[in-house]
């Protein structure tokens, strides 16, 4: 399936989210991409209250497609704006965290090296509080997102910048809006190097079994947030 057909099919399947992409941006273009506005909810369908998220805890939701997982994190500290580049040297400015303490961030949970991602059965990638303790894979810092499949390490406080391992670019950022009055969170788009095209191509058969025909469908309206340990049966630590 070529890129144009892929985008058209996603748009047709998304109802009110027919404007899936803004302009012609794709993987190498680091400009913000506007997807549909999606409210983050709990397992009962109620809007997540940002103040109730536990600091330095892995949360997962899906955006912008039904099969593309995202890490939601309250880092417990401010995440300030950072200048970054994609693997194709496209520069972009990550705006930093949102919320009263600017500590709330979200990044695609698809590793930028071999496209490893959390499933309901297994996850080799997650946020790790503190520093890694495995002497064979020394940590490049504290409080990082670590992929045990290839030992890429990303700093979520600096836009998921790569600190170690073979990954060639930061994790794609998911843009969030925080409503201070309602204390709710809404995903609005992505920023940085997207790898969704490669992801769907690599895991086409696997995703058809895990998610079914909705895998490439844009998330509409709401997305459920769960702790990684509840979403995944075996979150690997390394």
Spatial distance between the Cα atoms of 106 and 20, rounded to a whole number of angstroms: 19
Structure tokens at 51: 């103040």
Instruction: For 148-170, write each residue's pLDDT tens digit.
Output: 999 999 999 999 999 999 999 99
* Residue 222 burial class via C-beta count within 10 angstroms: exposed 0-12, middle 13-18, buried 19 and up: middle
Instruction: For 178-225, write each residue's pLDDT tens digit.
Output: 999 999 999 999 999 999 999 999 999 999 999 999 999 999 999 999
Please choose, from the candidates 46, 43, 71, the residue with its C-alpha nearest in 3D space to the C-alpha of residue 57: 71
Domain boundaries, the chain: 3-231
Structure tokens at 190: 């992505």
Kindly indicate the confidence band of residue 27, based on its pLDDT and cuts at 50, 70 and 90. very low
CATH superfamily assigned to domain 3-231: Rieske [2Fe-2S] iron-sulphur domain (2.102.10.10)
Spatial distance between the Cα atoms of 155 and 119, rounded to a whole number of angstroms: 22
* Bridge partner list, 174: 190
CA 12, 14, 16, 18 dihedral sign is: negative
pLDDT value at 32 more than 60: yes
CB 164 within 8 A of CB 126: no
């Amino acid at each position: 399936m070529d890129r144009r057909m892929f985008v058209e099919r996603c748009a047709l399947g998304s109802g009110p989210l027919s404007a899936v992409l803004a302009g012609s941006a794709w993987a190498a273009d680091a400009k913000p991409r506007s997807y549909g506005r999606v409210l983050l909810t709990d397992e009962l369908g109620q809007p997540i209250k940002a103040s109730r998220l536990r600091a330095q805890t892995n949360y997962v939701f899906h955006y912008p497609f039904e099969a593309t997982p995202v890490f939601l994190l309250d880092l417990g500290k401010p995440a300030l704006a950072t200048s970054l580049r994609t693997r194709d040297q496209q520069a972009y400015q990550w705006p930093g965290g949102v919320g009263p303490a600017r500590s709330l961030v979200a990044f695609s949970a698809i590793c930028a090296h071999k496209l490893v991602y959390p499933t309901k059965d297994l996850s080799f990638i997650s946020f790790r509080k503190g520093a890694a303790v495995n002497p064979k894979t020394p940590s490049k810092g504290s409080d990082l997102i670590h992929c045990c499949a290839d030992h890429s390490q990303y700093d979520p406080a600096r836009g998921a910048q790569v600190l170690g391992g073979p990954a060639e670019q930061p994790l794609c950022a998911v843009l969030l809006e925080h409503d201070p009055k309602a204390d709710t969170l809404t995903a609005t788009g992505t920023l940085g190097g997207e790898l969704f095209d490669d992801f769907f191509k690599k895991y086409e058969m696997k995703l058809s079994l895990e998610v079914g025909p909705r895998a490439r469908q844009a998330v509409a309206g709401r997305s459920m947030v769960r702790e990684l340990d509840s979403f995944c049966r075996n979150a690997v630590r390394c």
